[in-house]
Chains A and B, each alone.
Chain A
Amino acid sequence: GAGVSQSPRYKVAKRGQDVALRCDPISGHVSLFWYQQALGQGPEFLTYFQNEAQLDKSGLPSDRFFAERPEGSVSTLKIQRTQQEDSAVYLCASSLSRVNTEAFFGQGTRLTVV
């Protein structure tokens, strides 16, 4: 596709509900990143994939957060038993390689936990 696509654009979840956020990266991009952005803050790193391998998940805030990229393309970020503090914009980015400075971001998924 023309750019990184994320869905849904907005998600409202009741506390305790599981959610799944999807990211379609740019075709051919090896690296895929997930970030969490709270209101008024910069993007905070969550996890990173190189093809299908999850090389760094040090930013995932708890074991309720899980990400996968089984075929090295589309990625899903899953949050189990959502809490109010999970409310944020979740950004996905892709790039040609881990050290490529130009990462392309999607519009993000705005998650609101009520």
Chain B
Amino acid sequence: GESVGLHLPTLSVQEGDNSIINCAYSNSASDYFIWYKQESGKGPQFIIDIRSNMDKRQGQRVTVLLNKTVKHLSLQIAATQPGDSAVYFCAEIWVGGNTPLVFGKGTRLSVIA
């Protein structure tokens, strides 16, 4: 399959531990922030989103935190599993802008069994 994220920053986590993936964004006008997961040879897959007027949102084993003061977004994965190994991208949507769904730089998560 296709190899994604060869030159991306890597986070190595022991299986069962919690993972925290960080992202800095630049557009303070963005209305939504989203996390996508991309496994090798596949397209990105939606994980969770958060509106700009929220600071925290929880899903199944995942939590997204938004700090608009410092333009920082994080994804927390609880009890990391081998299947979580992938490249994670943050993305944003500015409803009033022209370009939809802009992706940020990714982070490779490597789960050590």
A residues contacting B by CB (< 8 A) are 4, 31, 33, 35, 37, 39-45, 48, 56, 58-59, 89, 91, 93, 98-99, 101-108, 110
Contact = CB atoms under 8 A, between A and B. Distances in A.
A42 B104 contact: yes
A39 B6 contact: yes
A91 B43 contact: yes
B2 A44 contact: no
Nearest to A45: B99
Q: Is the interface of B mostly helix, strand, loop or mixed?
A: loop
Interface in B62-113: 89, 93, 95, 98-106
Given A105-B44, A110-B2, 15 more contacts: A31-B100, A35-B103, A45-B99, A48-B99, A56-B99, A56-B100, A93-B44, A93-B101, A99-B32, A99-B95, A102-B34, A104-B46, A105-B43, A107-B41, A108-B42
B99 A98 contact: no
B89 A43 contact: yes
Interface residues of B, number: 29
B100 A101 contact: no
Contacts of B8: 40
A110 B2 CA distance: 8
Contacts of A98: 100
A33 B42 contact: no
Contacts of A59: 99
A103 B46 contact: yes
Contacts of A99: 31-32, 93, 95, 100
B7 interface: yes
A9 B18 CA distance: 35
Given A31-B100, A33-B101, A40-B5, A101 B43 contact: no
